[in-house]
Amino acid sequence: MAGTGGPVASFSVWDYVVFAGILLGASGIGLWQAIRSRKENTIEEFLLGGRQMHALPVAMSLTASFMSGITVIGTPAESYCFGTAFWLFGLSYAITSTVTAEIFVPFFYRLGITSIYEYLEMRFSKSVRVLGTSIFILQTALYTGLVIYAPAIALNQITGLNLWGVLVVTGAVCIIYCTLGGLKAVIWTDAVQLVIMLAGFVAVITKGVMLQGGMARIWQDAADGGRLESFDFDPDPLKRHTFWTILVGGSMIWISVYSINQSQVQRYLSCKSVTHAKMSLYFNYVGLLATVSLAMFCGLTMYSIYMKCDPLTNNDVGSTDQLLPYLVMDILAAYPGVPGFFVAAAYSGTLSTVSSSINALVAVTVEDFIRPKWQNLTEKQLSWINMSLSVFFGLVCIGMAGVASLMGSVLQAALSIIGIIGGPLLGLFFLGMLFRTTNSIGGLMGLLAGLILTTWVGIGAQMYPPTAEKTNLLSFSTFNCSNSTGDNYITTASPWTSAGTLTREPVVRPALADSWYSLSYLYFCPLGTLCTMAMGLLVSIITGGCKQERLDSNLFLRKSDLICFNCCSNGSKTSDIGQREDNEKTKEKIDAYHKFDATDDKKVTKF
């Protein structure tokens, strides 16, 4: 009986059939797009879909990339263990969508670039661009390895799916349609996979509501278990999730993802107009709200079923990341094929994120390392390079899955990686876009200082987990388990270990363990951003600023970039047609820029 603990059923033949069929069908969409666009074999078509994509499929792709297997498995576990505070990320997503759409979209769209890190060379120097690109590659490889490994290990231990077999198949499928179809195949496949993922949540919730006798029962159980206490206005930066850590830290994390991460930016740069690019972000916000809401309610449904028999403390599962797969096999195994459908939903999220990462890694490698050095390559040569790099980075991401096995709880580990690396990069872009006094030395030193600081606090948090008082992990019961003693347990959590894993406090904790190392993981990003900006401005002032450089106004944020949907202008300059013409002119300037001596880090930017 569901909710009483013990072993659950494993995959049936029909589950394997449904799982394989759904993934192959979704991937077939990508291959179909590849065949359809085979005659348009240009680098712009491969990396940016010919810059002719519409808002809705791009929005669905943005949401699908956000909703990786980590979200499918990790967010319900978050709701189960910590309550609905994570729901407040809806406010962060609203801020993120607005800032990205009204500041970064017009800015990058006007530049007409493919790799956003090209801007760092235009604004600062080649060395800053190379460092920024290298950091992005490291971040993406680590994050993608986590995305591949975490759902695989959780599902392997519950369903019996072969771990490395699934890892290799996941990477192979992504490699095939990324290599053949480029960004257009990625976007359309993501759109289909998003529908599958949302349907997987709906299937679990529907069955859970039927078992519990209605939504009112689930909501009441959540309230009785303290899962609905979302609004904690305590300003303590050491507490894991409060209103302020989520609003401030969460907003900064997702701004760094949507505004200066190539994987996401590349999607809205593929839109046919700046209006479509902005609309894709606002449509994406609706998708994010729906995704998080379904995931959180899925976690509350799980708590209602297991409130008197927690699978974690009853040793039915080994980590919180296995809770949702355990629930699926517990309540849906009687319906052949349905567990396979849910597992396909989890892996659809993985495929969407991995394919987007591969495409972004190819884009930055070609634009930031290959084309500047070999400018006379033909489209055919570039096409072969693109496909070869897709295979290479696909294999790298599979290899990084092994490293990801050390990262612990998937949701928090993913956001921690984003904050540690994305925060300093966001600060660097702010330095370039907002401050004319910042020079190359300042940008370089600021970025390094931000990375050192966030890496220090991140590693410290891993070595010395914060106490239960700061993590606010809620209590669980095993009273109704068929093989329990009726005891209740309270577990402790770490930003780098499974939230529900029983941990022992280190015998000796240094002075920084309960202060600096206990900083909420959501503050890693704003910490890195502020440190990078402060150090960058200070070093730039000391080294003379940009007095000797002539910088074009296109490299800075302009007032016209902030006009929402360009609705206040009657001229053609801010219309889609005018914007496209401006983009073409800017593109010509960028092409001319690349003709300068690529070895001179102190070159003057003259358009």
Asked if residue 4 belongs to a domain, the reply is no
414-472 residue pLDDT tens: 777 888 888 999 999 999 999 988 999 999 999 999 999 999 998 888 778 777 666 77
Give the Cα separation of 26 and 193 in Å (integer). Answer: 6
Asked if residue 32 belongs to a domain, the reply is yes
- Rg over CA atoms, the chain: 24
The token duo for 44 is 């712009």
Q: Which helix (H) or strand (E) holds 30?
A: helix 13-36
Asked if residue 5 belongs to a domain, the reply is no
Asked if residue 602 belongs to a domain, the reply is no
Q: What is the pLDDT of residue 48?
A: 61
Q: Which of 29-33, 341-345, 420-424, 602-606 is least confident?
A: 602-606
Count CB-CB contacts under 10 A for residue 547: 7
The token duo for 140 is 């993406």
Work out the mean pLDDT of the chain and round it to a whole number: 78
- For tokens 């902005």, the residue is 278
570: pLDDT confidence band, cut at 50, 70 and 90? Answer: very low
Share of the chain above pLDDT 90, in %: 21
Q: Which helix (H) or strand (E) holds 488?
A: strand 488-489
User: Which structural domain range is residue 339 located in?
Assistant: 13-593
Task: Identify whether the C-beta of residue 10 lies closer than 8 Å to the C-beta of residue 156.
Answer: no
* Average pLDDT rounded to a whole number, residues 79-105: 91
141-174 residue pLDDT tens: 878 877 777 677 766 766 676 767 777 777 777 7
Give the Cα separation of 574 and 567 in Å (integer). Answer: 8
528: pLDDT confidence band, cut at 50, 70 and 90? Answer: very high
Residue 387 to residues 100, 164, 179: CA-CA distances in angstroms?
30, 24, 5
Number of domains in the chain: 1
What predicted TM-score, i.e. pTM, was given to this entire model? 0.82
The token duo for 426 is 């966001």
Q: Among residues 535, 151, 183, 86, which one has the least CA distance to residue 343?
A: 151
The token duo for 296 is 């959180």
- Residue 598 clears pLDDT 50, i.e. is over it: no
Q: What is the pLDDT of residue 431?
A: 94
Q: What is the pLDDT of residue 515?
A: 82
- Residue 9 clears pLDDT 70, i.e. is over it: yes
Asked if residue 120 belongs to a domain, the reply is yes
Asked if residue 598 belongs to a domain, the reply is no
- Residue 387 clears pLDDT 50, i.e. is over it: yes
Asked if residue 76 belongs to a domain, the reply is yes
CATH number at residue 334: 1.20.1730.10
Backbone phi, psi, residue 182, to 5° = 65, -155
Q: Among residues 484, 200, 477, which one has the least CA distance to residue 327?
A: 200
* Average pLDDT rounded to a whole number, residues 45-54: 66
Long-range contacts of 206-209 (CB under 8 A, 24+ apart): 207/331, 207/332, 208/298, 208/301, 208/302, 208/304, 208/305, 208/327, 208/331, 209/301
Give the Cα separation of 48 and 266 in Å (integer). Answer: 7
Give the Cα separation of 292 and 63 in Å (integer). Answer: 11
Asked if residue 550 belongs to a domain, the reply is yes
Q: Which of 329-343, 467-481, 563-577 is least confident?
A: 563-577
For residue 489, give the DSSP letter.
E
310-329 residue pLDDT tens: 888 888 887 787 888 888 88
